[in-house]
Amino acid sequence: MAEGARPVTAGAVAALVLLAIVWGGSIPATKLGLADFSPIALTALRYLAAAPLFAALVARRPIPRVRHLVAMAAVGLLGVGVGQLSQTLGVARSSAAVATVISATIPGFVVLLAAIRLHQPIRAVQALGLAGAFAGVGVVVFGGSGGDALAGNGILGDALVLLSSVAVAAYYVLGAELVRRHGALTVAAWSNLGGALAMIPVLAWDWSRVAPAAPGARGIGVVIYLALLVTVAGTWVWLRALDRMPARIAASLQYLQPLVGVAASAALFGDPIGLWFAVGTAIVLAGIALGTLPAPARSPSRLG
C-alpha cells in the first residue's frame, strides 16, 4: 500500500472511530470474562464463537490457493495464538486500566513494522514519538509504585500485554500484505479461522487440567461481544482501513481507544487513576500522535 494511494473518506474515518470505542472496551470486557473462564478458555471460545460467522462470510467466495491459505493461517496463529492469548494471560495478572494503556502501543508498533515491512516512511520525529509512547508505558507501570511494580505477577502481566501488542501489530501489518491480493474480508476470515483451529488443542489441554465451570450470563455476553464486535467486525474494519489508507492515519484514529478502556476500567473495577497514571497516559497518547505525523511529500522514500 503506497502512502496516499487512496483518498481517506469520511466513512472510513467514522468506522475507525467506532472501532476505537469497541476495541477500547475489549480489555475491560476480558477482565469481566475472566471471572467465568480461564484465560485460555476465554481466548479459545472467543475465536471458536467467531469462526462460524467468518465461515459464513466467505462461504460463497473462491477459496484461496493452498499456499495462500497457509500464509493466512500462519498470520492468524500469530495474531490469535500469540497476540490475543498473551493479552488475555496478561490481563489476568494486571489491572485492566494498565493493560489498556499498554495495548495502546499497538498503533505505534503498526507504524514501526509498516515502515520496515511495507516500506512506509518514518521520520526522526515519528521515531521520537514512538519512543516517548513506550516511555509513557513505563510511567504508567512504575510511576508512583516504586519497586512494588516488580512484585507479584503484575510485571509479568504487563510484559505479556506488551508482547501481545507486538504480535497483534505484526498480524495487522502482515495481514495488510495479504489483503492486497485477497481483500480484507477474505484475509480476516481465513486468518481467524486458522487461529481458532489452532486454539482447539490448547483448549482441550486446558480443560484436561481443570474442568470447565458453567458460565453465567455475564461470561456468555463477554464471549459474544469479543467474538462478534471486537473480532469479526473489528478485524475486518481494521484490515480494510490498512488497505485503504496509510498506517499512520489509521493508527492516529485509535487515540480514543485507551481513553474508553481506562474510563471503563475505573467504572467497572475501581482501578485507581492517579497523577502518575494520568501523566503516563498523556505521554503515551502524545507519543503516538508524534509517531503518526505525516512524512513530507517530497521525500517519501527516506527513512528518518
In a domain, 56, yes or no: yes
In a domain, 303, yes or no: no
pLDDT (tens digit, 9 = 90+) per residue, 221-258? 999 999 999 999 888 887 777 677 776 667 666 667 78
The answer to whether residues 179 and 243 touch, using CB atoms and an 8 Å cutoff, is: yes
Count of C-beta atoms within a 10 Å radius of residue 244: 18
H helices present in the chain, as ranges: 10-24, 26-33, 39-57, 66-76, 85-93, 96-103, 106-117, 124-142, 154-182, 184-209, 217-224, 234-244, 247-252, 256-269, 275-291
Look up the domain containing 71 and give its range.
10-121+148-272
In a domain, 237, yes or no: yes
| Higher pLDDT among residues 127 and 28, named by residue | 28
152 has a pLDDT exceeding 60: no
d(CA 187, CA 78): 14
* Angle between the N-to-C axes of helices 184-209 and 234-244, in degrees from 0 to 180, rounded to the nearest 10: 140
In a domain, 221, yes or no: yes
Dihedral sign from CA coordinates of 23, 78, 98, 219: positive
Please tell me the predicted confidence (pLDDT) of residue 115: 81
How buried is 83 (Cβ within 10 angstroms: 0-12 exposed, 13-18 middle, 19+ buried)?
buried
In a domain, 36, yes or no: yes
pTM of the full predicted structure? 0.80
In a domain, 231, yes or no: yes
Of 40, 162, 38, the C-alpha closest to 98 is 162
Please tell me the predicted confidence (pLDDT) of residue 146: 44
Of 21, 27, 18, 13, the C-alpha closest to 252 is 13
The number of folded domains in the chain is 1
pLDDT (tens digit, 9 = 90+) per residue, 27-52? 999 999 999 999 999 999 999 999 99
| Higher pLDDT among residues 62 and 107, named by residue | 62
164 has a pLDDT exceeding 90: yes
The answer to whether residues 194 and 56 touch, using CB atoms and an 8 Å cutoff, is: no
147 has a pLDDT exceeding 60: no
Alpha carbon 216 to its chain centroid, in Å, reads: 26
Residue 71 is placed in which grid cell? 500464509
d(CA 232, CA 159): 26
Tell me the average pLDDT across 143-157: 60
* pLDDT > 70 fraction of the chain, expressed in percent and rounded: 84
Please tell me the predicted confidence (pLDDT) of residue 286: 84
150 has a pLDDT exceeding 60: no
In a domain, 302, yes or no: no
In a domain, 142, yes or no: no
Please tell me the predicted confidence (pLDDT) of residue 304: 32
